[in-house]
Amino acid sequence: MVTVTVTEGKVTLDDGAEVYTKTWKAAPEQARVLFIHGFSDHCGNYEMVHPYLASRGISVHGFDQRGFGRSVKSKAERGMTGTTDRVLADITCMLRSILSDTSSSAPLFVYGHSMGGAETLTYASLDPDNLVNRIRGFVVQAPLIALAPETRPYAITKIIGRVVARVLPHHQMVNPLEPSNLSRNEEDNKRWRDDPLNHDTGTLEGLGDMLDRGEALESGQYRLAEGKNEGGKTRILLIHGTADKINEFAASKRWMEKSCDAKDKKFWQLDGWYHNMHAEPEVETFRSGIADWILERSGSVQSEA
């Protein structure tokens, strides 16, 4: 029987900033996951998935990204994510924090949702600090490669935003998400809407770089090569709902077909599902599928040969 212990804490990043952490620790532990949440989001929004993964022997290490959730101490900090370089450096700090725990030898996976999904793909593609070979694989859900037509800004709006961002990079802008577009679970949509930690705020710099990461993925500039993960093999599971009204389903499918060279890759299409698949009525199918995929790849890398 697996015992799950939930703890809250903080990690000090390389520039001295602190981020809130929440860990669902499994004992015995078969795998570890670093979870990266989305825009206007926080790691506490995944109670239908993280405790379940832990109950299957997969410890989940969540954190509220800089500018979001409980890592924000004042309204002035909302959305202050920094540039893409800063975002990737924060992910490196979190990875090193987990990898420094010598009490565990369980393989480590990185799992990202939406904005965090695109950050995961960007990190995997660029490998900025040579840590990807210590990661067993990646799980990505509904990544922000391209916004869905319902939420896509006009080209002129993006151009103006980039020009103004050069002058006022830290200018905050509220970019509200429509709760009814998130899932088919009306109760969870209401919970999301009423949660003050979902503040809908970004900066011109942060929002611009978020869209730029998506464009780099969509154009093929950011590609995922074979042989990058632990054991000289790339492993990735990308999940997207066909009815996603936030991020475009077709963009994820194109990226997997054209820009992902991994031999162990799976594109999981969920017909009729919305953006927050972790909140959908059929969440049992979703979370068990993720757990199965991770556990199937959590043995010895030599056994995969």
Residue pLDDT tens, the chain, 305 long: 999 999 999 999 999 999 999 999 999 999 999 999 999 999 999 999 999 999 999 999 999 999 999 999 999 999 999 999 999 999 999 999 999 998 999 999 999 999 999 999 999 999 999 999 999 999 999 999 999 987 766 454 555 566 566 767 888 989 888 999 999 999 999 999 999 999 999 999 999 999 999 999 999 999 999 999 999 999 999 999 999 999 999 999 999 999 999 999 999 999 999 999 999 999 999 999 999 999 999 998 765 65
Listed residue (122, 63, 114) closest to 88, CA to CA: 122
CA dihedral for 62, 63, 64, 66, sign (positive or negative): negative
E strands of 242-285, at which residues? Answer: 264-270
Return the structure tokens found at 139: 């799980």
Q: Are 245 and 150 in contact (CB under 8 A)?
A: yes
Backbone conformation region of residue 129, classed left if phi is above 0, alpha if psi is from -120 to 50, else beta: alpha
Instruction: Give all domains of the chain, ordered by start, each with its CATH number.
Output: 3-300 (3.40.50.1820)
Decide the pairing of beta strands 58-63 and 31-36.
parallel
Return the structure tokens found at 113: 């949702």
How far from 272 is each of 46, 112, 151, 183, 253, CA to CA, in Å? 20, 21, 18, 10, 15
Query: Cα separation of 5 and 16, whole Å?
Result: 28
Q: Are 13 and 81 in contact (CB under 8 A)?
A: no
Q: Are 131 and 229 in contact (CB under 8 A)?
A: no
Give residue for tokens 């949440």: 37
Predicted local confidence at residue 156, as pLDDT: 43
Predicted local confidence at residue 47, as pLDDT: 97
Backbone conformation region of residue 232, classed left if phi is above 0, alpha if psi is from -120 to 50, else beta: left
Decide the pairing of beta strands 58-63 and 108-113.
unpaired
Predicted local confidence at residue 152, as pLDDT: 64
CA dihedral for 79, 82, 83, 88, sign (positive or negative): negative
How far from 73 is each of 17, 18, 37, 109, 217, CA to CA, in Å? 11, 10, 18, 29, 32
